Structure 1
Amino acid sequence: MRKLTFGMNVSLDGYIAAPGDDLGWGVPSDELFQWWSDRVRATGTALYGRKLWETMSSHWPTADQQPAATPAEIEFARRWRDMPKVVFSSTTRTVDWNTRLVTGDAVTEIGRLKAEDGDPMDIGGATLAAVAMREGLIDEYVIVTHPVLIGGGTPFFAALDNWVNLTLVETGTFPDGVVLTRYETRH
């Protein structure tokens, strides 16, 4: 059985994007960017909702070809392109860069992917993660909290019907007051 992790940058008040999908508050330090890049390298498959897919695929496929690209950005772009990805969307028609499109039932497909042998999977995108969260499919939550209050936007956590008990398994800090907390789900 494969582990499924939901991890993103989060404001202190619990949002992954400010109103208008503004992510400008979460610009990572070099150290945090490298940490995210290392996660991509360790991920067997990334599961994306449509909006996050559109954000990632609008930049990372060619980011390493930009004149001002840093060595870390070049490395991340290559890792991102190589990593197997699954996009869940009923409106997207085509995907590229080692990606497969799923237009049907996300819960069934995520359950099938989890049942396979293989490396861990990451899930990204608030809507897709909310579906997986409500169905109890997420095994681990990685919360990278930035010291900013944005007052609204897209929440990290979905409204749930039942409590989800968690066990703290890691904490850490990054420059600029950013704090990492990693929790595993207690089944």
Structure 2
Amino acid sequence: MGKLVYAANTSLDGYVEDEDGSFDWAEPSEEVHAFWNEHERGIGTSLYGRRMYEVMRVWEDDDWLAGEPPVVREYAQVWRAADKVVYSSSLQEVSTARTRIERRFEPEAVRRLKETSSTDLSVGGATLGAEAFRHGLVDECVILLHPVLVGGGRPALPRGVRARLELLEQRRFGGGAVLVRHAVRAGA
């Protein structure tokens, strides 16, 4: 059975993007990129909302990767190897391999996907992540806190959801980013 992992880059004040929708402050160092590569290597299926998918689909294109460092090119390979499910009522088609569209987020279908998966799954994007939290689907939360305050924007974690967490890992990166990884405890 696979775990559903919510993973996000966040500002220290808890946002995945600022009030203008920017997340340029979260550009990863080579060390942080290597961490995300390793993390994503264990993911067999990524669940995305439309907006997060539109951001992530750049990894399908080789043109811009030619001059990038090896750690960046490696992430593209890892990303391409995973299956992707995009939840969208408006997206007409996908432009990446190993990707399918679901018109609605159905918690029971995600539960079945977890039960039948031999690898972990990830949920990407704060909006879809919030839905997964609200339905008790998230098993683990991986947050990379960046040393910046953005003052507002899209919250990384859902409002109105209570959950008990158990710290599994903490790590400091050069440049001041801090990883915190928590298990979400059942019955919270």
Same fold (TM over 0.5): yes
CA separation in 2, counterparts of 1:80 and 1:11?
23
TM-score by length of 1: 0.93
CA separation in 1, counterparts of 2:130 and 2:166?
20
Match of 1:153 in 2: 153
Report the 3-state secondary structure (helix = DSSP H, G, I; strand = E; otherwise coil) of the residue aligned with 1:176: coil
Match of 2:53 in 1: 53
Q: Is the 8 A contact 2:145 2:179 kept in 1?
A: yes
Q: Is the 8 A contact 1:82 1:97 kept in 2?
A: no
How many residue pairs get aligned? The number is 185
Report which stretch shifted further, 30-39 or 63-72.
63-72
Gaps of 5+ in 1: none
1:172 aligned partner, one-letter code? R
Q: Does residue 68 of the first structure (1) align with residue 28 of the second (2)?
A: no
| Deviation per residue, 1:130-173 (Å, 9 max, x gap) | 11101111000111000100001110111125x21010010001
TM-score by length of 2: 0.93
Match of 2:119 in 1: 119
CA separation in 2, counterparts of 1:85 and 1:60?
13
Gaps of 5+ in 2: none
Identical columns (%): 39
Q: Is the 8 A contact 2:46 2:82 kept in 1?
A: yes
Runs of 4+ aligned residues of structure 1 deviating over 6 Å after TM superposition are: none
* Distance verdict in 2 for CA 1:176–1:152, change over 3 Å: same
CA separation in 2, counterparts of 1:40 and 1:63?
19
Summarize the alignment of residues 103-142 of structure 1 with structure 2, pairs less than 5 Å apart.
103-142=103-142
| Deviation per residue, 1:86-112 (Å, 9 max, x gap) | 111111111122111111343232122
Q: Pairwise CA RMSD of aligned residues?
A: 1.4
2:163 aligned partner, one-letter code? V
